[in-house]
Amino acid sequence: MGPLEFKNPYRPGAGHMPPHLAGREREYKEFDRLLEQDEILENMVLTGLRGVGKTVLLETFKPRAMQRGWLWATADLSESASISETALAQRILADLALITSSITVEEQQPGQPAGFVAPSDPRRVPLSHEVLASVYDSTPGLISDKIKATLEFAWHQLRQQDKHRVIFAYDEAQNLSDHAEKEQFPLSVLLDVFQSIQKKGIPFMLVLAGLPTLFPKLVDARTYAERMFRVVTLIKLTDDESRDAILKPIEVANCPIKFHPDSVETICHESAGYPYFIQFICREVFDVFIQQHAKDEVGMVPVDAIQRKLDADFFAGRWAKITDRQRELLWVIANLAHPDEEFTIQELVEEARQRLTKTFSPSHANQMLASLAERGMIYKNRLGKYSFAVPLLGRFILRTYGPTTEPSISV
């Protein structure tokens, strides 16, 4: 097979499985430990910046769990699931029904309490969404009471089939929020429900994946969430892991195109170890190298061209949605000594005084950071420090943007 006939093995995209998943042994070890729980004392929060591989890793957790006898219910928690407690309940019932519908239960007779059947009626029906919804609707009390009763009913039925351990895995879980102004508390309900059924010994475990804002939201909703979850933070790959992510796909495919060590180091530097950027850059480099190979040219990584395409595909949409003044603030952050690390409002204000004529007061900076956090550009940790929520955003800002005001070194 000639080089031109080889399919590009690299797959950038939201949640797309890469051809080689480099690193993550620490995360697998922690997940495997949680799978060994007989009584659920810890659930998992899988967190990290966009592009670090949360969705992909969550997908690889599924077969590991199923091999150990766990059932797997999963979904993305869209903002619509966070609108109300009822919407959350519908989400949980729909996900549960996908794994329970393969078993059957004795048909419930009219007027009987949920879960009790007449011995004289042997007819069995699938444990479908309709059956679960009937249990939910017939349970008195609050929505949380209805969800608990439905989950407990399903567990009793699953236990009879020796399929009683279930993982509820939810991606984009940072979208789940309480809405006090509307008297709707879906996030609190989720935590209350699972804490309650786990205290009863029901092995239903939560695995929540989301941006770094997720865990602080959980703790704000219920302080006991700090003891309820094991937080696993995905970070960028090491240099060795990055090289594996770059080289393994073409080695496994036995592709005639080979990356020169200098090209590999360039890709490592430009991607900074973030899996999405490795896949994006490698895809572009592979296509260029195929064309260069066909023309007997020496393969060179077109860094500038790839950066421009990455800017347009990944950063430009987010950048276009913020104001000029917010851009100035982010430009100041990008000029901090270590922009990819945590910073305080005081550090931001002091840097702005050195670089802008029209600076920011601490209260103004705090308000703007809160607004940028809502737009997914910044996040705040529980210690009151801030970070970019988008990897390599600082590099993008420095190479594409300069403030409209004249820099000033006055204090």
Q: pLDDT tens across 221-256, in order?
A: 999 999 999 999 998 899 999 999 898 888 876 777
Percentage of the chain beyond pLDDT 90 is 51
The full DSSP string for 341-376 is: S-B-HHHHHHHHHHH-SS---HHHHHHHHHHHHHTT
Is the distance from CB of 99 to CB of 71 less than 8 angstroms? yes
Which whole number is the average pLDDT over 314-343?
A: 92
The CA-based angle 288-285-390, given to 5 degrees, is 140
Q: What is the pLDDT of residues 373-404, one digit of tens each?
A: 888 899 887 678 899 988 899 999 998 887 75
* Structure confidence at residue 20 (pLDDT): 64
Would strands 71-76 and 166-171 be described as parallel, antiparallel, or unpaired?
A: parallel
Q: What is the pLDDT of residues 182-199, one digit of tens each?
A: 999 999 999 999 999 999
pLDDT of residue 139 exceeding 90, the answer is yes
Q: What is the rounded distance in angstroms from the CA atom of residue 196 to the CA atom of residue 218?
A: 16
* Averaged pLDDT of the chain: 86
Which whole number is the average pLDDT over 326-333?
A: 95
Q: What is the pLDDT of residues 77-104, one digit of tens each?
A: 877 778 899 999 999 999 999 999 888 8
What confidence tier does 205 reach under pLDDT thresholds 50, 70, 90? very high
* Structure confidence at residue 19 (pLDDT): 62
pLDDT of residue 45 exceeding 50, the answer is yes
Q: What is the pTM of this model?
A: 0.83
Which whole number is the average pLDDT over 108-134?
A: 67
Phi, psi of 202 (to 5 degrees): -80, 120
Q: What is the pLDDT of residues 51-79, one digit of tens each?
A: 888 988 999 999 999 999 999 999 988 77
pLDDT of residue 207 exceeding 90, the answer is yes
Sketch out the chain's domains with CATH numbers. Answer: 25-233 (3.40.50.300), 242-301 (no CATH), 319-400 (1.10.10.10)
Which whole number is the average pLDDT over 108-125?
A: 55
148 vs 7, residue with greater confidence: 148
pLDDT of residue 15 exceeding 60, the answer is no
pLDDT of residue 315 exceeding 50, the answer is yes
Which whole number is the average pLDDT over 287-296?
A: 67
Q: What is the pLDDT of residues 351-381, one digit of tens each?
A: 999 999 899 999 999 999 999 988 889 988 7
pLDDT of residue 110 exceeding 50, the answer is no
pLDDT of residue 292 exceeding 80, the answer is no
* Range with lowest mean pLDDT among 110-114, 279-283, 296-300, 365-369: 110-114
Please give the C-alpha separations between residue 153 and each of 119, 216, 261, 278, 312, in angstroms, as whole numbers: 18, 32, 59, 46, 50
Which whole number is the average pLDDT over 164-170?
A: 94
Closest of 127, 202, 206, 209 to residue 165, by C-alpha = 202
